[in-house]
Amino acid sequence: MRWMWIDKVVAYEPNRRLVAVKGVSLSEEHLHAHFAAEGALPACPVMPNSLILEGMAQTAGILVGSVHGFREKVVLAKVASAVIERDVNPGETIRYDATIERMDESGASTVGTIERFSFVDNAWAPVGRIEMMFSHLDQNRAGTEFPEENFVFGENFRTLLSGLGAIAPGAKSPH
Amino acid sequence: MESTMAKSREEIEADVRDVLVDALGVDEDDVVPTATLKGDLGAESIDYLDIVFRLEKKFSTPEKPFKIAQGELFPENLMTDPSLVEGGKVTAKGIALLKERVPHVELGSFEQDPQVTKLSGLFTVKSLCDFVQRKLG
Is the link from the previous residue into A35 a cis peptide, with omega within 30 of 0? yes
- pLDDT of amino acid B83: 86
Range of the domain at A146: 8-156
Question: If you ran DSSP here, which 8-state letter would residue A28 be given?
Answer: S
> A39 in a domain, yes or no?
yes
Q: What is the ipTM, given to two decimal places? A: 0.78
Q: Element (H or E) spanning A77, and its range?
A: strand A74-84
Range of the domain at B46: 9-136
Question: If you ran DSSP here, which 8-state letter would residue B70 be given?
Answer: T
pTM of whole model > 0.90? no
Tens digit of each residue's pLDDT, chain A (175 residues): 468 999 999 999 999 999 999 999 999 999 999 999 999 999 999 999 999 999 999 999 999 999 998 888 899 999 999 999 999 999 999 999 999 999 998 899 999 999 999 999 999 999 999 999 999 887 655 555 666 666 677 777 777 877 776 665 544 444 3
Q: In chain B, how many domains are there?
A: 1
CB burial readout B33-53, b (16+ within 10 A) else e: eebbbbebbebebbbbbbbbb
> A164 in a domain, yes or no?
no
Distance from CA of A119 to the nearest CA of B (A): 37
Q: What is the CATH number of the domain that holds A108?
A: 3.10.129.10
Task: List the beta bridge partners of residue B91.
Answer: none
A34 is catalytic: yes
Q: What is the CATH number of the domain that holds B131?
A: 1.10.1200.10
Query: How big is chain A by its Cα radius of gyration, in Å?
Result: 17
Q: In chain A, how many domains are there?
A: 1
Residue type at B14? A
- pLDDT of amino acid A157: 74
**Partners of residue A78 in chain B, C-beta under 8 Å:** 46-47, 50
> B1 in a domain, yes or no?
no
- pLDDT of amino acid A175: 39
> A173 in a domain, yes or no?
no
Please state the separation of Cα B125 from the chain's center in Å. Answer: 8
* Catalytically annotated residue among A34, A68, A136, A175: A34
Residue B121's pLDDT band (boundaries 50, 70, 90)? confident
Cα(A86)–Cα(A92) distance, integer angstroms: 12
CB pairs under 8 A between A and B: 40
CB contact at 8 A, A45 and A34: yes
pLDDT tens digit sequence for B63-108? 999 999 888 898 766 666 788 888 889 999 889 988 888 889 888 8
